[in-house]
Amino acid sequence: MKYLGIESQRPKIGVFDFTGCEGCQLQLANKEETLAAFLSCIDVVCFREISSASGEGFTIALVEGAISREDEVERIRWIREQAEVLVALGSCACFGGVNRLKNDFDLDEANREVYGDQPKPTLPVRAINEVVPVDLEIPGCPVSKAEVERVVQHLIWEVPFRFPAYPVCLECKQRYTVCVFEMGELCLGPITRAGCDAPCPAAGLGCWGCRGPAQETNFEEFLSVARERGFSEDEIVDRLAFFGGFRGIA
């Protein structure tokens, strides 16, 4: 494709997964109406556990999942060395995700609880950016394919892409969702970064903050809003900890 006199290139993309549910990878194959166009703009050279010896190089690495084992540390370092651009996909890669709840327990105890008498080697869960530098983070559980598309478009053509600075509330309002606080639900919408199009509140479920904090959060006011409506400290703390995005704030 040629535009503004510039011929665009198809970037070579590698897709990798770490500790996670692979739901974000699945999202990449989602959104059928644009899937063909998506694949025609990029050159996928690695997808799913193709061995690290894979001959073809990639310039962009899309990485899903958190880091929770020693071999994962090695592998993400290798990917970082190969890739010009490393993109963390989803809440696990960006914040540690649900996996990170493990860090609140004694590691051995957690290991026994899950694997019984056959414990597996494990490390405290870390987000990708706690192990290697990350160029772009697309949070969400799972990531939104539309957002991945826009990031990829941005990487190919440098077209505008910006995560919304504002919180989820704005998107709820823009789709005429009745505020779930009005329905007696707890919701992290007022402090969570928008861009997901607020599907959870639209379905009557308060936001769980999978996209982490908005550019600016009024955490103090949020706490008093939640407390005034009768939510307990435990409820609030649990909600904030769930995806790991509010570390350092909450």
Nearest to 19 by CA among 122, 119, 168: 122
The residue range among 61-69, 84-92, 167-175, 236-244 that interacts with another protein, by the rule CB under 8 A, is: 167-175
Q: Is 235 in the site for another protein (CB under 8 A)?
A: no
Q: Which of 153, 202, 223, 247 binds another protein (CB under 8 A)?
A: 153
Beta strands in the chain (DSSP E): 2-3, 6-7, 12-17, 43-47, 60-64, 85-89, 136-138
Q: Is 158 in the site for another protein (CB under 8 A)?
A: yes
Q: Is 2 in the site for another protein (CB under 8 A)?
A: yes
Residue entry with tokens 């860090």 = 103
Tell me how far apart the alpha carbons of residues 172 and 180 are, in angstroms, rounded to a whole number. 10
Tell me how far apart the alpha carbons of residues 44 and 61 are, in angstroms, rounded to a whole number. 10
C-beta of residue 60 within 8 angstroms of C-beta of residue 87: yes
Minimum CB–partner distance for residue 2 and another protein (Å): 5
SS3 content of the chain, % helix, strand, coil (to 5): 40, 15, 45
Instruction: Please identify, using beta-carbon distances, which residue of 9 and 52 lies nearer to another protein.
Output: 9
Q: Which of 9, 52, 54, 215 binds another protein (CB under 8 A)?
A: 215
Residue entry with tokens 């823009």 = 174
Q: Which of 9, 52, 54, 218 binds another protein (CB under 8 A)?
A: 218
Q: Which of 10, 77, 112, 173 binds another protein (CB under 8 A)?
A: 173
Which residues here bind another protein, judged by CB under 8 A? 1-6, 8, 34, 37-38, 40-41, 149-150, 153, 157-160, 165-167, 169-170, 172-174, 176, 178-179, 181-184, 189-191, 214-218, 221-222, 225
